[in-house]
């Protein structure tokens, strides 16, 4: 029998978790033969709500769900985990400054970085979802000094999925034929959606692989509308739903972790925010979204893509934002 994989979800009484845990327990993240033990963490005032979620998980009778550890204690949550999905974060309240928001989140992710360092399996794969996701991931990484930086990542897969879906609608093909759209940089409005290396698979009456740019055949739309549509999609969902994206975020988390552990397909890359090694002149040590391929549980940044000058300008702006976030976060840490 297969050893169950221990998966921590923080923010477990929140919105995203309410979709995510059911996807994990039903086998969508690790496949139909991999049992899971869910570790669920939230803060003490959410303890009752968390109990309710556990009851619902039990009521699903998932064959792959080996057991559930629901807790408000950090050590209990982080002990021996193989995968950490850090969703819980402090939300931005009315009148709250960006800096104040960063400050509370630095304190949360400092504690969780230390807990990863002390209690988690040495191979733990960490995905940070809670915002500001890139800088929260960096905070945790810095505090988990015994773990390799390559164990850490932040979520930009939702932005990639949004971009691919918009392209599929514009071109009139199934979204599955839209491949290799890239998100560079920060998971924020400075993110850089880039279709210049993407293609449409089996575009009707054309080649097997047709560039997105010629398939869309509307540079004005690509440059002036598509990019801001992707950058602002999160805000547009909030305006409509009065709540932030939740099911689509959970779905993106499943895609991110599954590709990281089980591997990307040949000829395809996905976007993950990971620890920069200096590729594409992005300063080393930022958590930056890059195109990556994954194999045997390790990601590697796709090399050698030619970046045009308009994309480069946007990459410079998102880099600057991330450097400023990093400086602020590190000043709170020290
Ligand atoms: P939510 O407010 O519904 O749930 C957050 C949960 O986290 C709450 O239950 C809260 O009590 C808990 N929490 C707060 N501090 C905690 C701590 N120290 N330890 C454990 N749990 C803690 O929020 P929702 O909608 O689930 O979103 C969660 C986060 O994900 C937000 O920061 C949101 O901005 C971010 N997000 C990121 C996306 C991305 O693509 N990277 C996409 C969508 C949301």
Options 39, 66, 80, 187, the catalytic residue: 187
Please give the number of the atom of ligand 1 that sits closest to the Cα of 155.
41
pLDDT for the residue 1: 82
pLDDT for the residue 207: 79
Do the strands 182-184 and 83-86 form a parallel or antiparallel pair, or are they unpaired? unpaired
- Ranges in the chain, pLDDT < 50: none
User: 309 is written with which tokens?
Assistant: 């000058």
pLDDT for the residue 204: 79
ipTM of the complex as predicted: 0.99
pLDDT for the residue 95: 79
119 C-alpha to ligand 1 centroid (Å): 22
Residues near 262 by Cβ (< 8 Å), separated by ≥ 6?
A: 30, 31
Where does ligand 1 bind, in terms of residues with CB under 6 Å? Answer: 10-11, 13-17, 41-43, 46, 87-91, 108, 129-131, 133, 155, 158, 187, 244-246, 249
- Rounded to a whole number of angstroms, the distance between the first and last alpha carbons of the chain is 47
Q: Please check whether residue 258 is in contact with residue 287, taking contact to mean a CB–CB distance below 8 angstroms.
A: no
Asked about 66 being catalytic, the answer comes back as no
Nearest CA to ligand 1 atom 25: 15
């Amino acid at each position: 029998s297969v050893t169950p994989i221990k998966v921590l979800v923080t923010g477990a009484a929140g919105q995203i978790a309410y979709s995510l845990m059911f996807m994990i327990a039903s086998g969508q993240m690790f496949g139909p033969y991999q049992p899971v033990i869910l570790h669920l963490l939230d803060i003490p005032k959410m303890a009752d709500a968390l109990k309710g979620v556990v009851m619902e998980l039990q009521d699903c009778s998932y064959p792959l769900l080996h057991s559930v550890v629901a807790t408000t204690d950090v050590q209990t949550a982080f002990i021996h985990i193989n995968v950490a999905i850090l969703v819980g974060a402090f939300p931005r309240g009315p009148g709250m400054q960006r800096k104040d928001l960063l400050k509370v989140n630095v304190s949360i992710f400092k504690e969780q970085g230390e807990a990863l360092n002390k209690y988690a399996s040495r191979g733990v794969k960490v995905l940070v979802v809670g915002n500001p996701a890139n800088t929260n991931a960096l905070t945790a990484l810095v505090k988990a000094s015994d773990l390799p930086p390559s164990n850490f990542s932040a979520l930009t897969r939702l932005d990639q999925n949004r971009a691919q879906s918009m392209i599929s609608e514009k071109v009139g093909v199934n979204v599955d034929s839209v491949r290799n759209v890239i998100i560079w940089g920060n998971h924020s409005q400075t993110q850089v959606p880039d279709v210049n290396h993407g293609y449409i698979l089996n575009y009707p009456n054309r080649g097997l692989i047709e560039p997105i740019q010629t398939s869309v055949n509307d540079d004005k739309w690509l440059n002036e509308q598509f990019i801001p549509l992707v950058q602002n999609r999160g805000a547009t969902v909030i305006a409509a739903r009065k709540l932030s994206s939740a099911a689509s975020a959970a779905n993106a988390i499943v895609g991110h972790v599954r590709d990281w552990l089980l591997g990307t397909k040949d000829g395809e890359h996905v976007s993950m925010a990971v620890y920069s090694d200096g590729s594409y002149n992005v300063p080393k040590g930022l958590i930056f979204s890059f195109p990556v391929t994954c194999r045997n549980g390790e990601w590697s940044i796709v090399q050698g893509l030619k970046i045009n000058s308009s994309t480069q300008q946007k990459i410079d702006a998102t880099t600057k934002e991330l450097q400023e976030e990093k400086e602020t976060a590190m000043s709170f840490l020290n």
